[in-house]
Structure 1
Amino acid sequence: MIAGWSLFFNDLTEQLPLVVDGIKETCKLALIVSITGFLWGIIIFFLSLSHRPVVKAITRLYMDFFIGTPLILILFVIYYGLPQSGIHLSSFTVAVTGFTL
């Protein structure tokens, strides 16, 4: 039984730097997406208050599309679809873009 715990702690000490890096990236992503999502939401909100029917209709279509589309589908389209058209983004950029939209 002691050998099992020994293997566990050996693996834990080997993988701990990766876990810490993952936590740092997750916190960075959460901070950036909170800011960009808030700003983008304010822009969309004020566009939805427009008195111009075309702007209001486009904003409504945008909101209906992104509210009705699962987030995982949006992330898949950005991550796998954009490279098909020659646009290559890092995984972090894809996550920020997908979560912000």
Structure 2
Amino acid sequence: MPLDFAQLTPSIPFILEGLKVTLKIVAIAAVLGFLFGILLALLKISRIKPLIILADLYTSIFRGTPLVLQLMIIFYGSPQLFGTQIEASVAAILAFSLNSAAYISEIIRAGINAVDKGQKEAALALGVSYPRMMMDIILPQAIKNILPALVNEFITLTKESAIVTVIGAADVMRRSYMVGSDLYSFFEPLLFAGLIYYVLVIILTFIGKLIERRLKGND
């Protein structure tokens, strides 16, 4: 059967409306995942053994199980656990944040360990407190070094956000599937959804390279 993208034209605004859901989930999950990832990374490099074990266990669980499983447990398990059904977008934000934090924590931990230990020793010798040393000296350098890896994680998060369709969130993928059902033709709307995700990835890649160039220019 020949492709007919003309029949898709009236449904394009409907599909693009799903961008609001996609971008909302990705943006909030990225921020929360990044902040929680920093906390996990700090726990992993601490000298308190129980905290190290706890952080490593958390990372092992969320990296060792499928994201779609985590999403479905949070969404479909919420009535049993909390006595109420949480919204699909909230479940997605929670699942993506918790999952992303596990990966980001490893990235940040590697970045912190890559910073010259002499700077840490010099800061402590000057009487700089540990929290201030981490926030003002170590973390900025670590994040600068791991920026490409962080951007890659955010790109992965953007693409994986498409799985929210399994819990009925009206994102780009879900709306494309709905249009395909109405038209009895799935290839065109799904291809259009793929184009949307591709453009989002290109934009994220460009922003990441722009920030990276600016940081290098400040050296």
Same fold by TM-score, threshold 0.5 exceeded? Answer: yes
* Residues 61 and 87 of structure 1, relative CA distance in 2, 3 Å threshold: farther
TM-score in terms of structure 1 length = 0.82
Give the equivalent residue in structure 1 for 2:18: 22
Aligned residue in 2 for 1:44? 40
Matched AA of 2:91: V
Say yes or no: does 1:91 pair with 2:88.
yes
Q: Does 1:100 align with 2:97?
A: yes
Distance 1:87 1:44 in 2: 29
> Could you say what the CA RMSD is over the residues aligned between the two structures, in angstroms?
1.9
CA separation in 2, counterparts of 1:50 and 1:87? 37
* 1:69 counterpart = 2:69: no
Structure 2 residue identity aligned to 1:96: I
1:69 is displaced (CA, Å) by 0.8
Moved over 3 A (4+): 8-12
Cα deviation, residue 73, structure 1: 0.6
Determine which structure has greater relative contact order: mean sequence separation of CA pairs < 8 Å that are 6+ residues apart, divided by chain length.
1
Alignment: residue pair count: 95
Paired AA for residue 54 in structure 1: P
Residue 47 of structure 1 and its aligned partner are, at CA, apart by 1.0
- TM normalised by structure 2 equals 0.40
**How far apart are the structure 2 equivalents of 1:43 and 1:78?**
22
Identical positions, percent: 34
- Quick check: 1:35 aligned with 2:31? yes
What runs of 5+ residues in structure 2 fail to find an aligned partner?
99-219
The amino acid across from 1:64 in the alignment is S
Q: Give secondary structure in 1 for the equivalent of 2:17.
A: helix
Distance in structure 2 (CA, Å) of the matches to 1:35 and 1:78? 19
1:97 is aligned with what amino acid?
L
- 2:9 maps to 12
